[in-house]
Chain A
Amino acid sequence: MTEVPRLERVDAALAGRAPLPRDNGELVFEEPWQARALGMGVVALERTGSSWAEFRRHLVAAIQRQPGDPEASPATAYYAAWLEALEGLLAERGLLP
């Protein structure tokens, strides 16, 4: 069974340039897929022994690449970048096509 890392650890790993979206202190998920994206990333990184630093690098790059769609809310944009970062990291490690 995969050990679930403490949220504080995830926060620490992403602090600075790619913090998890929060409002009033609570994690913001505008739609359920965003929570699943977070869970998916945490589980996949732990199971594949991937480094959070590497993931953060991909995430920051993905955020910067975003076209800046004014229609997209911050949480939607963030978790869209999150998916891209996860795909990128796993592909780089040869775990995804």
Chain B
Amino acid sequence: MSDPGAAEPRPSPGQAGASQAGASHGDHDHGDHDYGDHDYGDHGAHRPLPATDVELRARALEALLVAKGLVTTDAIERVISYYEHDVGPRNGAKVVARAWLDPAYRQRLLADGTAAIAELGYGGAEGDNMVVVANTPTVHNAVVCTLCSCYPWPVLGLPPAWYKSLPYRARMVAEPRAVLQEFGLELPAEVEVRVWDSSAEVRYLVLPMRPPGTEGWDQERLAGIVTRDCMIGTAVPSVDAAP
């Protein structure tokens, strides 16, 4: 993609929905953070003030680095997007894989998620009061934060943009099956869907079922098929996802 206007405003209408949605509940106090929608330069909607000195300095440096071939705007955007969408869930995946292999750990995990997760060295403020809910052949769990975007960061990393979007937050409660279908997850009619509403006090993590075809796999290999979405409950692990 040619990109002559590196330091110019780059409106991105496709990203605007989630952050606009944030306005309606922006005044409650348990942590709404709709940062990072890439509406760079979307001055009219969000920031009537003129660009600050430091922002101009940022643009000037970016333009200079682009001119010198040290960065490209594509690469910058890839980093931003990657940090928002892709990193983090490895910790949670290790927790799940351990629970699949070690029935005693599984028991501790379901009895006291916070303590069992801390055993593996993960925790911290955002992971306090972790409750782990297990999928079974008859129950599928999914997590939402209807108020904002509370999320078990220490085990799942940065929340995906859709998790923070108003449509997901509203529809996951009202019509979970339809939402899950849109994620490509078809559940048999006899499976009950339970939706858990995260809050500042309690953050939920879904313990998915270990899929068939993984007999004899070690913990690392198992963790490799546990995606972030599996632990939010919008997907289930599949051997096809193996690296």
Count residues of chain A with CB under 8 A from any CB of chain B: 38
Query: A25 on the interface (CB 8 Å rule)?
Result: yes
**Complex CA distance for A25 and B151, rounded to whole angstroms:** 9
**Contact indicator A80/B54 (Cβ below 8 Å):** yes
Expressed in whole angstroms, the minimum distance between the Cβ of B14 and any Cβ of chain A is 15
Tell me the dominant secondary structure on chain A's binding face: helix
Count residues of chain B with CB under 8 A from any CB of chain A: 44
Expressed in whole angstroms, the minimum distance between the Cβ of A91 and any Cβ of chain B is 11
Chain A positions 18 through 43: 1 when the CB is less than 8 Å from some CB of chain B, otherwise 0? 00000111111111111111111011
**Contact indicator A27/B75 (Cβ below 8 Å):** no
Query: Among B47, B76, B88, which residue has its beta carbon within 8 angstroms of that of A31?
Result: B47
**Complex CA distance for A47 and B70, rounded to whole angstroms:** 6
Q: Beyond A32-B39, A40-B71, A90-B65: 11 further Cβ-contacts under 8 Å?
A: A25-B126, A25-B154, A29-B35, A30-B35, A31-B55, A33-B54, A37-B58, A39-B75, A48-B70, A79-B54, A83-B58
Hey, which bits of chain A sit against chain B, CB under 8 A?
1-2, 4, 6-8, 23-40, 42-44, 47-48, 76, 79-80, 83, 86-87, 90, 95-96
